[in-house]
Amino acid sequence: MKTLTYSKNIFLPVTDLCRNRCGYCSFRKELKDAHLISRSRALLLLEQGFHAGCSEALFTMGESPWTVSGFESILAKAGVADLMDYLVELCELALEFGLLPHSNAGLLEQEDLRRLQPYNASMGLMLETTALLDAHAKSPGKRPDMRLQYMAMAGRQRIPFTTGILVGIGESRQDRVEALSKIAHLHRAFGHIQEVIIQPLDPKPGTAMENARLPGMMDLCRTVEAARRILPPDVAIQVPPNLVDPRPMLAAGATDLGGISSVTVDGINPDRPWPNEVELHKSLSDYNLRERLPVYPRFIAMGWHGHETRSLVDSLAGEDGLRAKKYIF
């Protein structure tokens, strides 16, 4: 029986202010509508996550919001002096509630990555594409070279890392192959890529790409097959079960369903509900479906997860590095 993994998480949007304007994004808000998650809201979600048996606190935010004029007033209103200090504080809170932080905070300086590393079981950044696309014409942070450099920096720091590509944002098949090849190259150099998400575009009303065509299943399966061919075998291929029927993509080589949640919605695709965990086990009963932590077993064995996360990882992981059986549904 093929083993298939997923993690149980909560989604914590630290801030939805972002310097970029990606053509498909409905997460980003203008300054007047932007928010910073409050401590009380974070506490409530963490508490709910703990009671729901989650193991992952997924912290995400718009990229470099501090470069957007007016962000200081949002911080001041929340009584926060420095966003990175605040993110570290939230990661510490998550650990207190028994949830392992995984932060995807966009492109960061090396110093900030160093500050976050000890408190994170793993971290992430979507490469999305290596092509120069209209979808990213107003997104200075989506320059592929900058994102690849950032991922290399994370590799040098030995951070277990999640990345992925977006399918259907105007890229060609060859562009997808190139992006996957660059990720494979990074992994061969640093050994830090734990999973690659094959994420289909889900067009949102009110965005520049609202009328874009959804990528077809055939295209998605071909992309998964290409990923399996190009990526080293120890890199998992993840597909989101709230956006696509995972079955054909599992048959094509995908091995992971990513984070699902009974507490929070998918903050990037709030109109796409997560499958219920019980239903997922029923519908995929021909797979050995296992819950994992936000850090993959081999990185636990190598001790690459942040040192502040180690005792919690030890208490949540079973002998095989996946979530201990006593916690499994």
Beta-sheet pairing, 256-260 with 288-291: unpaired
Residue keyed to tokens 């519908």: 283
Q: Which is nearer to ligand SF4, 19 or 182 (CB)?
A: 19
Beta-sheet pairing, 193-200 with 161-167: parallel
Residue keyed to tokens 């992971």: 256
Q: Which is nearer to ligand SF4, 209 or 249 (CB)?
A: 209
What is Dmax (Cα atoms) for the chain? Answer: 54
Beta carbons of 278 and 251 less than 8 angstroms apart: no
Q: Which is nearer to ligand SF4, 212 or 280 (CB)?
A: 212
Q: How far is the CB of 26 from ligand SF4 (least distance, A)?
A: 8
| Calpha distance 165→60 (Å, rounded) | 17
**Which burial class, exposed, middle or buried, applies to 7 when counting CB atoms under 10 A from its CB (0-12, 13-18, 19+)?**
buried
Q: DSSP state, 323?
A: B
Q: Which is nearer to ligand SF4, 134 or 245 (CB)?
A: 134
Q: How far is the CB of 22 from ligand SF4 (least distance, A)?
A: 3
Residue keyed to tokens 């801030």: 15
Residue 167, amino acid: V
Beta carbons of 62 and 14 less than 8 angstroms apart: no
Q: Which is nearer to ligand SF4, 21 or 35 (CB)?
A: 21
Task: Give whole-number Cα distances, 251 to 111, 221, 286, in Å.
Answer: 41, 8, 12
List interacting residues with ligand SF4 (CB under 6 A). Answer: 18, 20-22, 25, 27-28, 62-63, 139
Q: Is 246 strand, coil or helix? A: helix
Q: How far is the CB of 285 from ligand SF4 (least distance, A)?
A: 35
Q: Is 113 strand, coil or helix? A: helix
| Calpha distance 79→254 (Å, rounded) | 43
Q: Which is nearer to ligand SF4, 30 or 320 (CB)?
A: 30
Q: Which is nearer to ligand SF4, 25 or 83 (CB)?
A: 25
Q: Which is nearer to ligand SF4, 25 or 100 (CB)?
A: 25
181's CB contacts (< 8 A; 6+ apart) are 230
Q: How far is the CB of 208 from ligand SF4 (least distance, A)?
A: 11
Task: Give whole-number Cα distances, 1 to 164, 240, 288, in Å.
Answer: 26, 21, 6
Q: How far is the CB of 160 from ligand SF4 (least distance, A)?
A: 21
Q: How far is the CB of 159 from ligand SF4 (least distance, A)?
A: 20
Q: How far is the CB of 102 from ligand SF4 (least distance, A)?
A: 16
